[in-house]
Amino acid sequence: MQMAPDTSKLDPVVLELGHLFTDAGYELSLVGGPVRDLFLGRTSPDLDFTTNATPDQILSVARKWSDSHWEMGRDFGTIGFRKRKRSGEVLLIEVTTYRAEAYDPESRKPAVAFGASLEADLARRDFTINAMALRLPSLELVDPHGGAADLAAGILRTPGTPEQSFSDDPLRMMRAARFASQLGLEVHPEVHRAMVGMAGRIGIISAERVRDELVKLVCGAHPRAGVDILVETGLAELVLPEVPALKLETDEHHRHKDVYQHSLQVLEQAAALETGPEGPVPGPDFVLRFAALMHDVGKPKTRRFEPGGAVSFRHHDLAGAKLTAKRMKALRFDNDSIRAVCRLVELHMRFYGYGDTGWTDSAVRRYVTDAGPVLERLHRLTRSDVTTRNQRKADRLSFAYDDLEQRIAVLAEREELDSIRPDLDGGAIMALLGLKPGPVVGRAYKFLLEQRMENGPQSAQAAEAALHAWWAEQPESRAAEPEPHDR
């Protein structure tokens, strides 16, 4: 990592805005993540600035210069701007008045007080790597807490004591784990100890803020490291208790693997199977990664010791899907994400046995249909779930899954597997049987769908014959027959 920020990567808009503020008699500095990223040789999509100007003064300087602005963060001293570059790219910019914050220990929200200097503003920030600034337009680096040195050393420290920092905002403990995941940093021992001692403070943070940090952690370059920190410090017991519960006591004969370490390895392997932007699973993919982390969370609940000392986890896939849904709902995830992750957890064991018993075409169709839109992720999760050191066994499972994917491809080309429907639609069913819309039509549709799954595509005549045969056995059909004296 370079020891000085690469200011050549700064967008000209940054200097342009700096001149606007200094010409108006105010200070302006680029601060936080965008400065940190200059040391890492990359650019940030969003730009954060701090100034001695008040929100009203910020608006007076930059309102006409920007294309639009928003004031949702005004109570916190923040005004946001959108600026379209000549290239057409839109930059999102936030300018915040110097702050000196004090937090109520029992409150989720900070009590904001405006500060008087850049140095005081930097002292209140979460970590030293984010407590650096570039004065504008001079590009003077302001780094009073050694953030550049910490970044070069790969260490995560706080500007002041970690206890004070985490007391001010307990979510910073989650951010420590997130930065370990995103940037590959090691948490300083003093910071780690404070996290252990203060983990309970995370309880005052809203589920939504915890969720957002968890997503960033899971989608980081080193998610295993981030999860390990959550577990080691006790934070996971409060925000994701199903994961530390995977640390099952190993049976005395060591007949089953460490479920926790296995899950972290599956997470890493699943991330490695993500694709580029044009592929079917562009990385980082939270749904795939979180399903990999959670796929075995049903094991503690379903563990049974069998005669002879064997250990079983029957139906842990179904139990795990329920536990995962409960946790994701508590963390306020959206319904689509919950459905996708839980479907993967539920189906992650479906493949096993394929290589030994073989599947009919019907079984392959059901596998594809049950997976639906998460099929490509299921391919990757299933392959990632192989962590055995027995290379022969690993190869056998890999070859078997290769064969399954090939069969899916052949059937998909022949039968349009991604949109399997009965050979007759609801309108045809009602016309053939003389029915009105209702539950019976739904049952008939389900019957024909089963026929489609079992036998593949059929002609209209064959489908009609099967439908009439089914209808003849239904009680509604017999009830509709005329009485003998009416004939």
| pLDDT(356) > 50 | yes
Residue 330 and residue 440 in one domain: no
**Pairwise pLDDT comparison (167 vs 102), residue with the higher score:** 167
Closest CA to 100 of 76, 79, 80: 76
- Backbone torsions φ then ψ of 311, nearest 5 degrees: -120, 135
Question: How would you classify residue 83: left for phi > 0, otherwise alpha for psi between -120 and 50, otherwise beta?
Answer: beta
- Residue 439 Cα distances to 435, 436, 478, angstroms: 10, 9, 17
For residue 104, name the pLDDT band (cuts at 50, 70, 90).
Answer: low
Q: What is the pLDDT of residue 357?
A: 67
Q: What is the pLDDT of residue 424?
A: 79
> Containing domain of residue 435, as a range?
426-477
271 contacts 223 by C-beta, under 8 angstroms:
yes
Give me the mean pLDDT over the 352-356 stretch: 70
Q: What is the pLDDT of residue 92?
A: 93
- Residue 319 Cα distances to 132, 288, 444, angstroms: 47, 18, 31
**Pairwise pLDDT comparison (455 vs 384), residue with the higher score:** 384
Q: Report the half-sphere exposure of 132 (CA within 13 A, side-chain side).
A: 24
341 contacts 369 by C-beta, under 8 angstroms:
no
56 contacts 83 by C-beta, under 8 angstroms:
no
Q: What is the pLDDT of residue 253?
A: 43
Intra-chain end-to-end CA distance of the chain, in Å: 93
Q: What is the pLDDT of residue 103?
A: 60
In a domain, 306, yes or no: yes
Residue 119 and residue 196 in one domain: no
Q: What is the pLDDT of residues 357-368, one digit of tens each?
A: 678 888 888 898
Last residue of a domain, one of 119, 153, 187: 153
Residue 270 and residue 413 in one domain: yes
Burial of 29 (0-12, 13-18, 19+ CB in 10 A): buried
Q: What is the pLDDT of residue 486?
A: 47
- Residue 363 Cα distances to 70, 404, 455, angstroms: 54, 11, 11
In a domain, 25, yes or no: yes
Residue 336 and residue 431 in one domain: no
Q: What is the pLDDT of residue 254?
A: 47
For residue 87, name the pLDDT band (cuts at 50, 70, 90).
Answer: confident
Residue 273 and residue 409 in one domain: yes
Closest CA to 181 of 215, 151, 209: 215
In a domain, 141, yes or no: yes
Question: How would you classify residue 140: left for phi > 0, otherwise alpha for psi between -120 and 50, otherwise beta?
Answer: beta
Check which CATH number belongs to the domain holding 200 and give it. Answer: 1.10.110.30
**Pairwise pLDDT comparison (240 vs 249), residue with the higher score:** 240
Residue 449 and residue 361 in one domain: no
Last residue of a domain, one of 370, 389, 419: 419
In a domain, 398, yes or no: yes
Give me the mean pLDDT over the 443-469 stretch: 81
In a domain, 28, yes or no: yes
**Pairwise pLDDT comparison (167 vs 419), residue with the higher score:** 167
| pLDDT(370) > 70 | yes
Q: What is the pLDDT of residue 487?
A: 44
Give me the mean pLDDT over the 272-295 stretch: 97
Q: What is the pLDDT of residue 252?
A: 42
Token pair for 94? 């936030």
For residue 316, name the pLDDT band (cuts at 50, 70, 90).
Answer: very high
In a domain, 78, yes or no: yes
Residue 369 and residue 339 in one domain: yes
How far is 138 from 127, CA to CA, in rounded Å?
24
In a domain, 485, yes or no: no
* Structural element, H or E, at residue 415: helix 391-415
Token pair for 229? 């920190």
CA dihedral 410, 413, 418, 421 (to 10 degrees): -100
| pLDDT(442) > 90 | no
Residue 367 and residue 379 in one domain: yes
**Pairwise pLDDT comparison (473 vs 70), residue with the higher score:** 70
For residue 327, name the pLDDT band (cuts at 50, 70, 90).
Answer: very high
Last residue of a domain, one of 153, 186, 201: 153
| pLDDT(473) > 90 | no
Residue 186 and residue 322 in one domain: no
Check which CATH number belongs to the domain holding 128 and give it. Answer: 3.30.460.10
| pLDDT(186) > 50 | yes
Residue 71 and residue 200 in one domain: no
98 contacts 57 by C-beta, under 8 angstroms:
no
**Pairwise pLDDT comparison (136 vs 87), residue with the higher score:** 136
Token pair for 314? 């029957």
pTM of structure: 0.83
Residue 141 and residue 6 in one domain: yes
Q: What is the pLDDT of residues 120-177, one digit of tens each?
A: 999 999 999 999 999 999 999 999 999 999 999 999 999 999 999 999 899 999 999 9
DSSP assignment of 234-249, as one string?
THHHHH-TTTGGG-PP
239 contacts 230 by C-beta, under 8 angstroms:
yes
Give me the mean pLDDT over the 435-440 stretch: 86
How far is 9 from 98, CA to CA, in rounded Å?
25
Give me the mean pLDDT over the 92-121 stretch: 78
In a domain, 460, yes or no: yes
Number of domains making up the chain: 4
Residue 210 and residue 312 in one domain: no
118 contacts 29 by C-beta, under 8 angstroms:
yes
**Pairwise pLDDT comparison (35 vs 418), residue with the higher score:** 35
